[in-house]
Amino acid sequence: MSELEPCIEELVQQLAAKLTEEGWMLATAESCTGGMIAAACTDLAGSSQWFDRGFVTYSNEAKTEMLGVPAELIAKHGAVSEEVVRAMAEGAIRHSRAQVSIAVTGIAGPGGGSVQKPVGTVWVGLCVRNKCLSTLLHLEGSRHHIRQATLKSALQELLKTLASYQ
């Protein structure tokens, strides 16, 4: 069991409470986490009240086909970019019944990094009621640690953003 797991459960419970209070639904669009955010959310009993759906868009083609991310955007900026994560978050809203979305794209390693985008480079994108934000993370550690840290950070970013809607 990871030392992050209890914290993640607590974050999901807080997220569930806030989304339920607002009557909002969540959709996820995940690349580097491969569905971990959706899994963490649906581990909580009753999540169907606030979780609509999750998109695992690991390939560039999946980002385009499932979320409507323009292929030209990916070609110009790369899959791991602010532009693409924002398009993923917006696409998750457009292709669901959700008012809130969370998207992640990054390089979990151990390979795949570059000088410009080293392993541990992760973008988190959020949309809450038509307001979209993005955050760049620079994470370190093993592939497992980077993916777990992405999950935790994404949930924290979403909770922080939702807190401004009080």
pLDDT score of 1 more than 80: no
User: Helix/strand/coil (H, E, C) string of 28-84?
Assistant: EEECCCCCHHHHHHHCCCCHHHCEEEEEECCCHHHHHHHHCCCHHHHHHHCCCCHHH
Count: domains in the chain: 1
Contact between 105 and 80 under an 8 Å Cβ cutoff? The reply is yes
pLDDT tens digit sequence for 51-83: 999 999 999 999 999 999 999 999 999 999 999
Give the pLDDT of residue 164.
Answer: 87
Give the pLDDT of residue 130.
Answer: 84
153: its two tokens: 């950070």
Contact between 79 and 57 under an 8 Å Cβ cutoff? The reply is no
pLDDT score of 166 more than 70: no
Give the pLDDT of residue 5.
Answer: 53
pLDDT score of 2 more than 90: no
CATH code of the domain covering residue 149 = 3.90.950.20
Give the pLDDT of residue 29.
Answer: 98
Strand order in the sheet with 51-56: 51-56, 26-30, 100-106, 121-128, 131-138
pLDDT band at 6 (very low <50, low <70, confident <90, very high): low
Question: Would you call the peptide bond into 70 cis, given omega within 30 degrees of 0 as the criterion?
Answer: no
The stretch 16-32 carries a mean pLDDT of 97
Give the pLDDT of residue 165.
Answer: 75
- CA-to-CA dists, residue 149 to 3, 122, 143, angstroms: 11, 10, 10
Phi-psi category of residue 59: left, alpha or beta, with phi > 0 → left and psi -120 to 50 → alpha: beta
DSSP β-bridge partners for residue 138 = 121
Residue range(s) defining the domain that contains residue 49: 5-163
